[in-house]
Amino acid sequence: MKTNMDKLYDAVAQRGPVCVGLDTDPSYLPADFVRSELTAGENLVRFNRAIFEATKDVAGCFKVQIAYYEALGLDGLRAYAETLKMVREAGLPVIADIKRGDIAKTAEMYAKAHLDGEFEADYVTLAPYMGLDSIRPYMPYVTEKGKGLFVLVRTSNPGAKDFEYEKLADGRHVYDMVGDKLNAMGKECLGESGYSSLGLVIGGTHIEEAAEIRARYQDSFFLIPGYGAQGGTAADIAQYLTKGNGGVVNSSRSVLLAWKKQPGVAFDQAARNECEHMRAAIAAECARLEG
């Protein structure tokens, strides 16, 4: 069975590793775009659709952060479902950024909610710090439906130093232990591309261990946050890719708010310009590393 991670690998090979984060706050919309007769959620969907149509051929995938939609209540959740549906119906990969981390029946219900039904996505993000039993309830969707998971290992925020970088008795960091366990678990679901359906979230803002992490988890596909607004550069990010693939690089605010840095350019064209620039910059750095 061709897995969703295989499809993501193919998408990156075709369109590059840019992941457009549709983490859309109402304040991101240009004032003259907002229609007063529509709800906040309806305006978000209009904005998301315009961004999607402008960038779908220069992005490997899209990511939708649920918190931005939950904050608007039922109106926002309708916008969330409509945004996921829009991307999936176009045949492009979409990640639901939900970062769930519970266990047992609760995790089963989260899996059902976000890998099936009205909120169905191709991949979900998970937090593993309650243990591997917070991941296992999602695995039937991986093995039976080809779904993908991206599990937090070493994140892009400054607070990663609080826990993830703590040293164990054997000299490894906590994030090494988490990554090692997840990588071993992922061996059960390797796809045709050679990558596991159990992917890892590896932040792109801490680069000291980049080469070591990429070498350590050669069959793990990475979701790499931190580019742009969080400070990650193309040179940083390229170290986490393998010949320009093996990962997707998320950018949200830098794409959604690109129009503010490109005076006179329509917001959707500005978003496309930013994606093209990001894709070219990462490709150039990957070529430099390989050369």
Tell me the pLDDT tens digit for each residue of 49-68.
Answer: 999 999 999 999 999 999 99
Average pLDDT over residues 72-86: 98
Q: Is the pLDDT of residue 221 over 80?
A: yes
What pLDDT, on a 0 to 100 scale, did the predictor assign at position 229?
64
d(CA 2, CA 4): 7
Average pLDDT over residues 156-163: 90
Confidence tier at 133 by pLDDT (50, 70, 90): very high
> What's the CATH superfamily of 4-290?
Aldolase class I (3.20.20.70)
Phi/psi at 262 (nearest 5 deg)?
-130, 75
CA dihedral 171, 177, 180, 183 (to 10 degrees): -160
What pLDDT, on a 0 to 100 scale, did the predictor assign at position 95?
98
Tell me the pLDDT tens digit for each residue of 237-288.
Answer: 899 999 999 999 999 999 999 999 999 999 999 999 999 999 999 999 999 9
Distance of CA 99 to the CA centre of its chain: 11
Q: Is the pLDDT of residue 20 over 70?
A: yes
CA angle, 203 as apex, 208 and 213 as ends, to 5°?
A: 50
Q: What DSSP designation does 226 have?
A: -
Burial pattern 94-116, b for ≥16 Cβ within 10 A else e, equals bbbbbbbbbeeeebeebbebbbe
Q: Where are the domains of the chain?
A: 4-290
Q: Is the pLDDT of residue 196 over 80?
A: yes
* Percent of all residues in the chain with a pLDDT value above 90, rounded to a whole number: 89
105 part of the active site: no
Confidence tier at 42 by pLDDT (50, 70, 90): very high
**Out of 85, 99, 145, 181, which one is annotated catalytic?**
99
